Amino acid sequence: MQKPILILGACGQIGTELTLELRNRFGGTTVIASDIRNGSDTLMQSGPFELLDATDYDAIEDTVMHYEIDEIYLMAAMLSATAEKFPMRAWNLNMNSLFNVLNLAKEGKISKVFWPSSIAVFGPNTPKDNTPQNALMEPSTVYGISKQSGERWCEYYHKKYGVDVRSVRYPGLISWKTLPGGGTTDYAVEIYHKALEEGQYTCFLSKGTKLPMMYMDDAIRGTMTLMEADSKKLTIRSSYNLSAMSFSPEEVAQSIKSTVPNFEISYAPDFRQQIADSWPSSIDDSKAQEDWGWQPEFDLEKTTSEMLKNLKTKQQSET
């Protein structure tokens, strides 16, 4: 039987869907959601919720003891675009929350940790196409620096203290249930909303900027598969490359046009262009395939069809 799970940062883009899916699988009361703010009605009504700051070790420890938590998924973080505006706050949140969770595992208070890394660990000197697992990493963003340091600490805690920490480098994630939280790939969610609401979208990245992306269902399935995988099969304890599709704003606009023929896209790149330019265009995830059987199910066409269908239904139910 699944022992209790705690999600830190459960009200964000990934945390919301992850919490709902874990509750679906293991039952509402097995999964304790927590955040520094309330989440959507669906999330709040689906099981227990605690207001909890991921940088507060004592508060997390109390919650772990109270619910007899066995696994923590750490989803609280400051994302790439916001982190460029508040470098020290991003560093403090992204690193201290990770140390809190790793130290709870080191002390034997929990037995398993999930912590997401990102394609932002790579930098401008990394080969851009089909970027290998162990490619040169010289991240040039605050966020990327925090994720790369986090990866090193995860591997260190595993080797030195036997901590069972598992991680993937998520690409940009596309979802319709919750809005994204300040990343450089947020355009790939906004574009679907604007296509339906206004029939046009001004993109903050230039038209040819190709980045690795993934539909949320794939990301959640990948995360849960990794967490259930046999520990002995996992050869990477920093973070696994994970890939599904790669596209540019122009290509996603083209795919939207097959459903919304009059859709127009224009381009006004801002400071996020420089962040995007430092990231890979596509990712080699053969290690995740070999070690725990990773396979994506959603390509761009399927993603566009799911996004437009679900957003349309959501908009109709709200009016």
181 binds ligand NAD (CB under 6 A): yes
Contact predicate 227/278, CB 8 Å: no
Task: Report the alpha-carbon distance of residue 38 to residue 145 in Å, rounded.
Answer: 29
**Sign, CA torsion 212/222/180/202:** positive
143 classed as catalytic: yes
From the list 50-58, 64-72, 268-276, 302-310, the region that binds ligand NAD by CB under 6 A is: 50-58
Q: Of these, 47, 144, 180, 249, which contacts ligand NAD (CB under 6 A)?
A: 180
Question: At closest approach, how far in Å is the CB of 76 from ligand NAD?
Answer: 3
CA distances from 233 to 14, 117, 118, 185 (A): 26, 20, 22, 31
Identity of the residue, 223 or 255, whose beta carbon is nearer to ligand NAD in the bound complex: 223
Question: At closest approach, how far in Å is the CB of 101 from ligand NAD?
Answer: 11
Catalytic pick among 67, 73, 143, 201 = 143
Residue 148 CA from chain centroid, whole number: 15
11 binds ligand NAD (CB under 6 A): yes
For the chain, helix (H) and strand (E) counts, in that order, are 12, 14
Crossing angle for the helix pair 13-26 and 216-228, nearest 10 degrees? Answer: 50
Task: Report the alpha-carbon distance of residue 237 to residue 308 in Å, rounded.
Answer: 37
Residues 30-49 interacting with ligand NAD (rule: CB under 6 A): 35-37
From the list 132-140, 168-176, 291-299, 305-313, the region that binds ligand NAD by CB under 6 A is: 168-176
300 binds ligand NAD (CB under 6 A): no
Task: Report the alpha-carbon distance of residue 274 to residue 31 in Å, rounded.
Answer: 38
From the list 166-174, 265-273, 289-297, 310-318, the region that binds ligand NAD by CB under 6 A is: 166-174
- List of residues contacting ligand NAD (CB under 6 A): 8-9, 11-15, 35-37, 53-55, 75-77, 79, 93, 116, 118, 170, 172-173, 180-183, 185
Which residues are the active-site residues?
A: 143
